[in-house]
Structure 1
C-alpha cells in the first residue's frame, strides 16, 4: 500500500515551506500567483487530499455544510442532493445531511439544531413543498442559508432550475407541432415543482390562445400515469399530453399501448426530467432535461459567496433544455413535425 501523501511532500516538490502550502489551501490571497500555481501543480501531481480536520484547525473553520432535504425520494430531488454533495466535496467541504420525508416544524427545528451544533458554516435546504418554505421563513439563523426550490417565494437566497420555463418549452413545442388540444398530467398539488410545471403549461396555452382543460393529477409514479392513461384513452378530446415527470409519462405510454393508441401517430407524449431510462422507452421519450450538476455548482457558489460575507442576488434560475425524441409528432390532420423555433417561449 502506498504511503499517504502529506503536506510536507507537496512542499518539497513545489520547493516551498510547509506554511506556504497551508496558506495556498486556506488563505491563497497571501501567496503570489506564481507560488500558488507551483503549489497547486504539486498537489495535482501527487494527488494530495488535505485532511479536513487539519484544515479546520488551521483556519478555525469546520469546512462543513448542512443539507436538509424535504419530500419524497424522487428522481429530481435525489439528483439535486447528489449534485450538491459532489460540488461541496470539490470545494473542500463535507456535508452533514438530514432528510425529512414530511416537512413538520418540530422535525425541521430538530434538524437545524443538530446541524448548528456541528458548527456548520452554512445550510442548504432542498424544499419540495410549500410547508417547508413556511417553516423556514420564520426562523432566524446565524449562518448563511440557500434554498433550492422552484417557486421563488421563499424570501431567502434561492437557486433553482426554472420549472415554469421548462413546462412552457414542453407545451410550446407541442403547439409548434400543430397540436391544439394539449392535456396535462400534473404532479401532486403539494409539490412546488408540480405547481410550477402546471402554471407553465397553462400560461403557454393561454399565450397561444389554445383551450385550457382541467388538468389530471397523478402522484409522480408510473402506476398513476397508467391509471390516468387508461381513462384518457377513452377520450378523443386531445392529441397530446404533457406529463409532469418521466415516470408518469412511462405509465401513459404503457396505457396507450394497451389501448391500441400509437405514439406518436395517434397521440404525442412529452415528459419532464430526462431520467436515464427516458431514451429507452418505447418510443424514446421527448422530455425536458434538468442540469443538476450545474445546479449543484450554482448552489455551492452562492453559499460560498455568502460564507465569505459578500452579497449575491436573492434568486438564480438555471434554464432547462428540451430533448426531442420519438414520442412526439404532428397530429394526423397536419403536416410533418417541425422543430421548435429559436425561442418561442417568451411573448
Structure 2
C-alpha cells in the first residue's frame, strides 16, 4: 500500500522532470534529513558540520518540519528561483491557506504550540521565514553548485529514459525502491506510512530529483501540478565522499597547462577537461571528444573516477560521465590555466 496516484493518458503526456533544483523543496528535504539518521555514510559528515551552527531562529522551522510526518506545503514552493524571492512569496500566503494546512496537520500529529498563532501573526510568520532563510544559508548555499550538478546529471539520465522508453520508463526507474508503477497507478511508499488515492485528472506530475532526499515524497497540493520527489542516484562510494564537500567550485574553465598534464598525463588531462566541458557524456562521446578509442577513454575514465575527479552514472548499456567538485577544483586551481 502507499500513496496511489492514478494516471490517465493525458497525465502521462503532462508529466515532466524539474529543470533545476527547487530551493524550498530541497530545503524542506534537507531539514528532514538533518534530523534523522538515515544514510549515515552519505550525510553524517554534513550533519556534524552544520549541527553546531544552527541559529536560534532555525529551531521554529525544525519543529514544524519533522523528520517523519507532515509539514506545511505553503513553505515548500515547488519552483526555481532565489531563496529570497521564494520566501517573500511565501510571506504573502493567504491566512485561510495557512489555517487550512495547519488544521490538516493537527488532525494527524501534534503541532508546536506557537504554530497555532501563525495564521494571524505576521511577525511570527516573519520569524519562521527568517529562520528558513538562515537554514538555507547553512544547509544548502555552501553546496549549491554540487546540488545543481547532481540534479543536472540525473535529469540527463531521465532524458535518455524518456527517449528510450517514454514517460512510463521514467516512472518505472525514478526510484524503484520506493516507487512502483503498475499502469495506470503509481504507488509511492511514504516515510509517514500515509495511504491515499490521488486522481490527477489531467494535471500530470512534476518529478523532482533531490540530493538530500532519502525516500520519496508526494505534495499533492503543489501548483501547477502535484510533485513527487525522489533521491538522485549515488551509485558509487567515491561519489559519496565528495558529494557534500563545502565550497565546491563552479563549471571548469579551460585548463591546458603543463602542470595539469604533468600530474595526470596528456591524455588523462584531456579526458578530465572533456568530461568537464561535455557534462553527462557517454564513453563513446568522450572518446570522440578526445580523439581516442572508446576502450582507452573507458580506461582513463576509470582512473579519474577512482581518484574522485569524475562521477559515473549507469544508464542501460551506457555510462554517463560528469566532473566532481574535486575535479573542478583541480581544473580551476592556480597553475592549471583555469583559475577564475
Range of TM-score over shorter length: under 0.3
If each structure's helix is expressed as a fraction of its own residues, which one has the higher value?
Answer: 2
TM-score normalized by structure 1?
A: 0.23
Largest Rg, 1 or 2: 1
- With CA pairs under 8 Å and 6+ residues apart, which has the higher RCO, 1 or 2? 2
TM-score normalized by structure 2?
A: 0.23
